Structure 1
Amino acid sequence: MRLDFFDLQLFLNIVETGSLTKGAERSAISLQAASERIKKMEQHYATSLFSRHATGVKLTQAGQSFTEQALLMVQQYRRLEQIMLPYAQGATTQMTLWCNSSAQSEYLPLLLPQYLLENPHVQIELKEAESSEMILSLQKGTAQLGLISGFFHAQDLQTLEFSDDPLVLICPRDHVLSQHSQLQLVETLNYPFVGLMQYHSLQLSVENQAKQLNCAIQYRLRLPNFAAIAQVVANGVGIAIMPKRAAQRLSKLYAFHQVELSGSWAQRKLLLAAQNFDALPAGYQHFAQFLLAQKSQLERLD
């Protein structure tokens, strides 16, 4: 037997009216058809759901239990219809993902096209911010979902690992620092830098590290993106710090040298963060699950 929601609603109509005849009329089917459907349900569960009387029908104990579950199922079905209706009408879901410079330039462009093609009703806005700002916004509830650096303490937030995101130093191939395989930040601060614009979250993070060493970064030039920085560094203007993934991508286009950076601040991990993943709106939960499922794909690209 295949029990459908029409049968459940028929059953509830009979319960509400106390009559098989009136329940059939409310369901817009004949008395005979209604009687046959109820009989099939009783045969399927091997028990009587109603006791028949001259004045109508009454629920048996089994029928009472069936009623409780039928009510829940019908309510859930109606809720499902309400949830799905906007999609059928072509409504769009708008989401904002907060992210740092590295996530915005090196990870999300690889992943978002697939998600947007699979979900044509979705619109995603990327909001770049420094990780400490994102954490504060998530805590306040002004942000729902963010990709933050694991270097920052995300108090009162739930976090899940998204990807490794280490930083490296890039320098001209003939630069004195190119002789090193690994450097600490303090060993680089006497040399002129090429950096991102002041509003970029990565540059703010690097500058904060320099301040903790009582040093200030000397900029010869600030540029809007990693590609421009790589080109200028390759031409001998200065040194720069950028995500390892960006350096690997750009090394195919520009001739510069990469040096590993030591220190926990440089061995970053990207974390997906929210106040409570289970409490996110359905659209955000679906998007978060997609992002986390791409971790193996990102590892293959490293």
Structure 2
Amino acid sequence: MNIESLQMFCLVVDEGSISQAARLSFVSQPAVTRQIHQLEDSYGTLLFDRTDGKLRVTEAGKMLYPFAKAIVGDYSRSKEVIKQAMGQNNINLNVGATFTIGEYLLPSLLGKFKKQQPEIRVTLTIKNTPGVLEDLANDVIDMALVEGIVERNDFIVEEYADDELILVCSPDHTWDMQIQIEELLNERIILRESGSGTRVIVENMLRENGILDKIDSYMELGSTQAIKSAVEAGLGISILPRLTVERELGLNLLREIDINGVTIMRKLWLVKKPQRFNKPGVSQFLEFIHNK
């Protein structure tokens, strides 16, 4: 048994296909099969069931998988630590973020971090909350910054900031500075796509105030920028994170409206996998986040 066999085993499980694992590894399918057989010989049991032309992970394979992932991860991190100590490579940090955080908060944050740690090469991946958490689970990224609710016990979740969601409309809307929440029923509400952390929070607020099921007119758009443009054009109203509309409010392109008795605050979360050893770069970024 060797690290390469464990790496290949994990890749086959993740991809669900020997042929796809071979393509991603730039090796032949027989080479992948040999490594899996070597691993099975080492453990004395089958790790995959190949009956009926379909590849299925056996119970033994399912038990081995988390241990193999941990071993492969520790080995990869150990190599980076040693290379760093010998001055042989730069440090790579892969950060995942949801759209709001990735587009409006992280650019300036990462800029400041890079000034403090210029030797660290940072890659940013932006997806919705489920997509970012899937990347974290599959070790595509080292950590995730999300605004959505994280309901997984296999992650470490830490609060790192607060954000407020506010009601915005076009500058020429007839509303006064404050409205009653029932007045939203007379408007077209523009929402993010299903699965968005922002949408979940807005819908929960509307549900708690008894009006979610009474809303007849709404529009769904796939980006915050599209929503801002639609609101500015008078196509509807929206409830958006304050950090995404600060520029438009300052330029009087959008107007903030207070909802009487309603304040929508949310937590921004830093999510990572439990690790015995942090990858180089992760510790520095975590320290930077906590001290900013």
TM-score range, shorter chain: 0.5 to 0.7
Q: How many residues align?
A: 207
Q: Shift in Å at residue 252 of structure 1?
A: 1.2
Q: Shift in Å at residue 187 of structure 1?
A: 5.5
What's the secondary structure of 1:95's corresponding residue? strand
Structure 2 counterpart of 1:205: 200
Query: 1:76-110: CA deviations, max 9, x gaps?
Result: xxx9875322xx34x23322211122211221122
CA contact (8 A) 2:170 2:231 kept: yes
Q: Shift in Å at residue 251 of structure 1?
A: 0.8
Counterpart code for 2:269: L
CA contact (8 A) 1:101 1:202 kept: no
Counterparts of residues 222-241 of structure 1 (less than 5 Å): 222=221, 224-226=223-225, 229-241=227-239
Structure 1 counterpart of 2:85: 84
State the distance in 2 between where 1:124 and 1:141 align. 15
Q: TM-score, normalised by structure 2?
A: 0.56
Q: TM-score, normalised by structure 1?
A: 0.55
Structure 2 counterpart of 1:7: none
Unaligned runs of 5+ in 1: 1-78, 295-302
CA contact (8 A) 1:189 1:218 kept: no
Q: Shift in Å at residue 164 of structure 1?
A: 0.6
What's the secondary structure of 2:265's corresponding residue? coil
State the distance in 1 between where 2:131 and 2:82 align. 39
State the distance in 2 between where 1:260 and 1:270 align. 22
CA contact (8 A) 2:96 2:143 kept: yes
Unaligned runs of 5+ in 2: 1-79
Q: Does 1:126 align with 2:121?
A: no
What's the secondary structure of 2:166's corresponding residue? strand
State the distance in 2 between where 1:255 and 1:206 align. 24
What's the secondary structure of 1:83's corresponding residue? helix
Structure 2 counterpart of 1:289: 287
State the distance in 1 between where 2:183 and 2:138 align. 38
Structure 1 counterpart of 2:247: 249
State the distance in 2 between where 1:203 and 1:267 align. 11
CA contact (8 A) 1:168 1:241 kept: yes
Q: Does 1:107 align with 2:108?
A: no
Cα 1:204/1:229, change in 2 over 3 Å: closer
Q: Shift in Å at residue 151 of structure 1?
A: 3.9
Structure 1 counterpart of 2:218: 218
Cα 1:121/1:277, change in 2 over 3 Å: same
What's the secondary structure of 1:242's corresponding residue? strand
State the distance in 2 between where 1:283 and 1:232 align. 40
Return the match for 2:188 from 189, 192, 199.
192
Cα 1:83/1:110, change in 2 over 3 Å: closer
Return the match for 2:115 from 114, 117, 123.
117
Cα 1:182/1:117, change in 2 over 3 Å: farther
State the distance in 1 between where 2:83 and 2:222 align. 49
Q: Shift in Å at residue 244 of structure 1?
A: 1.0
Cα 1:218/1:275, change in 2 over 3 Å: same
Answer with 1 or 2: which has the greater Rg.
1
State the distance in 1 between where 2:232 and 2:90 align. 44
Q: Calculate percent identity across the aligned residue pairs.
A: 20
Q: Shift in Å at residue 144 of structure 1?
A: 2.6
CA contact (8 A) 1:168 1:258 kept: yes
Cα 1:158/1:181, change in 2 over 3 Å: farther
State the distance in 1 between where 2:151 and 2:205 align. 19
